[in-house]
Homo-oligomer: A and B are copies of this chain.
Amino acid sequence: MRISEIGEFGLIERLVRPPKRESLIVGIGDDAAVMGMTGNAVLTTDMLVEGDHFRTEWSTPRQIGRKAMASNVSDIAAMGGTPEFAFISIALREGIEVEFMDDLYAGMHDVADEYGIDIAGGDTTHGSVMVINIVIVGSIETPVLRSGASPGELICVTGPLGGSKAGLELLLAGKDGPTGAVAKHLDPGCRMDISSDIAAVANSMIDVSDGLASEVNHICDMSSVGAEVIAEWIPLSASTREAGEVLDQDPVGWALNGGEDFELVFTIHPDRLKEVEDRCTVVGRTLPSDEGRTLVVDGNRLPLTGGYDHFNE
């Protein structure tokens, strides 16, 4: 069905569901939302542009919705916060039909429901390309910052890396490969499930949106520490290794520079590792700032560079 058949307000009415949180004082339908907040609020916002961040020929609308919501929840997880409200702005282009929007919202609701998030507002408009901007607001007690690391901590990750980039490379090459890798790109999820446990013991934290090398460098920049990452210690899934063989590429490179895995990277005092060691893998350690940032590969010491820059050419 064409969206013009039901109109902007008909579409919003169709997609909106009644909120569950009593703290949502004013939801969809007024000039702005009003939320009862006690204490500190945490807020993240991410913009996804068709062609750059998702492709309707690769992803189902439901996958697009799930990934869009999960990538934002991941930012809240990376601070140690609890997501409560989401605001969805969408620019629709010609050819997007009502059923596409139903499925897109079903995907966003999948993730919202999993973490108790109410969709509390947003903006629906028109554009020459489809754009999705999601804002998530939540509560937070003590944020875990990128700036909290000191020398002598362990650098840990909450799961295998490089899988999203492996899936992207398979899709770009039009090659058959392990379906797990493609699934990890199209529907990466996030680690809200364990983030509060990690936040309770971590000194610094960030999520993997641009690749491990970039995220460790952010922690180093903000915490004024050095770091040593051991390439052999970086966890890779079987499907990521297999994709590396299919494409004759190094999956460790994907882990370091791929991004969109949405696992958490954190630093922790060695004495506290035992509290979360069943939920993470140690990949290195922090050092004094003047010792720099190093990637150790087969005993060779290389500079820890990389990370995706949206404007790099």
Contacts and interface: CB of A to CB of B under 8 A. Distances in A.
A39 B40 contact: no
A9 B221 CA distance: 12
A7 B309 contact: yes
Contact of A32 (B79, B120, B125): B79
A46 interface: yes
A309 B311 CA distance: 35
A41 B34 contact: yes
**A contact residues, range:** 35 or more
A15 interface: no
Interface string A134-150: 01010010010111000
Nearest to A29: B222
A30 interface: yes
A113 interface: no
A133 B133 CA distance: 7
B42 A125 contact: no
Contacts of A186: none
A36 B143 CA distance: 12
Number of copies: 2
Interface stretch (A83-91, A253-261, A281-289): A83-91
B43 A87 contact: yes
A224 B90 CA distance: 29
A133 B72 CA distance: 15
A30 B219 CA distance: 10
Given A79-B30, A81-B32, A45 B310 contact: no
Interface string A16-47: 00000000011001111111111111111111
A129 B124 CA distance: 17
A51 B129 CA distance: 11
A251 to B, nearest CB: 25
Nearest to A124: B310
A32 B73 CA distance: 10
A206 to B, nearest CB: 6
A46 B123 contact: yes
B131 A127 contact: yes
27 contacts: A4-B312, A7-B312, A8-B311, A26-B79, A30-B147, A31-B76, A31-B146, A32-B79, A33-B43, A33-B44, A34-B40, A34-B41, A34-B143, A35-B42, A36-B39, A36-B40, A43-B85, A43-B87, A43-B137, A45-B121, A45-B133, A47-B89, A47-B91, A47-B123, A47-B131, A49-B125, A126-B310
